[in-house]
Amino acid sequence: MSKAHVLVVDDEKDIRELVKEILEDEGYDVSLAEGGEAARKALQHRRPDLVLLDIWMPDVDGITLLKEWAQGGRADFPVIMISGHGTVETAVEATRLGAYDFLEKPLSLAKLLLTVRRALEADRLRFENLGLRAQARPLTEPTGGAEVTKKLRDQLTRIAKTDAWVLIQGEAGTGKKVCARFIHANSARAEGPIIDVGVGSLTRENAAMELFGCEESGQIHYGRLERANGGTLFLDEIGDMDREIQARLLGVLQTRSFRRVGGTEAVQLDVRIIAATRKDLAQAVAESRFREDLYYQLNVVPVHVPPLRSRREDVPELLNYYVSEFAERDGLPYRSFSFAAQNRLRNYDWPGNIRELKNLVQRMLILGSGPVIEVEEVEAALGQLSKPGRTQAGFNYDMPLRQARELFERAYFEHQLQEAGGAISTVAKNAGMERTHLYRKLKALGIGLKEDGKS
């Protein structure tokens, strides 16, 4: 299992060595820096998962370092301040700058270990929840009792016990991201981060900085690859990657190292790669749209996620799951599907797969009324699905305007993402919005592109 990397910055050698010994006994990987300048150099060499930072040091004090690291509102890693001469004002200032906590010397062993564990867990959840915060109860595994679903879960469980790289293929909306998260959660890397890269959002201009990070004017900005160190990197819709970016990524995967943009030192890479695509990559290779060497680097263990129409037995369970989710998340009235309604939806072909089912449930809870969803309401909804430029009747006018508008906008944009296969440029064009404005709107609505966009 990969160890969390802790950087201890303190000018007192005895304290540095003592903390190092304590943390290593608990299974952490520990680096030491005897002052502020040494800490700066250590950060160039490797991104820490956590920093224990002394305040009073002869060269550069801890508060000054914290200000440097907290540019943009918070540090890129949790920082725990330590001091033998702290004041309330100093602790308040450190917290304002983004420090996770403040420990006084002499250090309490129990409090030190507890604070370190909590800080690492909080930071891990912060990254993992970026694409999940829109969901109250995100799916944690392929859901359903169909035989093909059971076989898929069994396959993913076996894969999770290895550290092999995985290529997940399947139609849009089948739940490829859920499969990736299931593998990570059941692997030896489960305590490490799982970092998502929405390949469709990468351009030639931003790809290098987004993936590799950069060093500029003495500041270090860590990229997705470095943030995933010790854990899993999920490359969502790898088939959409630009050929030039493919070549750069291939070099990194072959050498297991990279340099930040503007940097001079190689950064070692310890990640598991899980890639996903809705496209036939073998065909893309044959047509020279995807690099053959990168394809074989990624396709160590292939996984195919079946479409929903081939596992119709899962539909009732998925319907109940999403009804409960939206009732819990959005406060929508709980409505159950009648047996006849469930049977009709079992026999629907679901071209948009699970994502289409999820969006249909959300719309019916928003726009319908009554405790039970009957087959007639389902037939009407399915009929509307086939009509371009459709409108919805039967809207619930009893809810407050703000809630109604937010729920409608969320349903609207989730539908647009579904129709566009997660392509943000297409959604922006169809909605008549600038991409930057659309990103802000989706973020405000709690729609995670990496979760809902293309998996």
Q: Pick from 231, 181, 189, 178: which is nearest to 355 by CA?
A: 178
Number of Cα atoms under 13 Å in the Cβ half of residue 68: 17
**274 in helix, strand or coil?**
strand
Cross-strand pairs, 275: 167, 235
pLDDT surpasses 80 at 130: no
Contact 144, 314 (CB under 8 A): yes
Instruction: Read off the pLDDT band of 452 (50, 70, 90).
Output: very low
| DSSP 8-state symbol, 130 | T
Enter the tokens of residue 99: 């420090």
Residues 364-421 have pLDDT tens digits of 998 888 899 999 999 988 876 544 444 444 455 555 667 677 777 877 887 788 777 6
Enter the tokens of residue 104: 């006084």
Phi, psi of 262 (to 5 degrees): 85, -5
Q: Pick from 356, 370, 372: which is nearest to 421 by CA?
A: 356
Residues 8-65 have pLDDT tens digits of 999 999 999 999 999 999 999 999 999 999 998 898 888 899 999 999 898 988 899 9
Q: Which CATH number fits domain 147-308: 3.40.50.11540, 1.10.150.120, 3.40.50.300, 3.30.230.70?
A: 3.40.50.300
Q: Do domains 5-128 and 147-308 have the same CATH topology?
A: yes
The rounded mean pLDDT for the chain is 85
Contact 249, 241 (CB under 8 A): yes
- pTM for the whole structure: 0.72
Contact 258, 222 (CB under 8 A): no
Distances (CA, A) of 158 to 139, 169, 231, 301, 303: 19, 17, 18, 11, 12
Q: How far apart are CA 281 and CA 167, in angstroms?
A: 10
Query: What pLDDT, on the 0 to 100 scale, is given for residue 451?
Result: 37
Q: How far apart are CA 31 and CA 52, in angstroms?
A: 10
Distances (CA, A) of 375 to 157, 380, 393: 37, 9, 16
Contact 43, 14 (CB under 8 A): no
Query: What pLDDT, on the 0 to 100 scale, is given for residue 399?
Result: 59
CATH 2.60.120.10 fits 5-128, yes or no: no
Enter the tokens of residue 206: 């931003």
- Give the residue extent of every domain in the chain: 5-128, 147-308, 311-452
Q: Pick from 190, 152, 145: which is nearest to 174 by CA?
A: 152
State which fold the 311-452 domain adopts: Helicase, Ruva Protein; domain 3 (1.10.8)
Number of Cα atoms under 13 Å in the Cβ half of residue 15: 20
Query: What pLDDT, on the 0 to 100 scale, is given for residue 277?
Result: 96
Biggest alpha carbon–alpha carbon distance for the chain: 76
| DSSP 8-state symbol, 378 | H
Q: Pick from 23, 25, 41: which is nearest to 33 by CA?
A: 41
∠12-15-16 over CA atoms, to 5°? 85
Residues 180-206 have pLDDT tens digits of 999 999 999 998 889 989 887 777 778
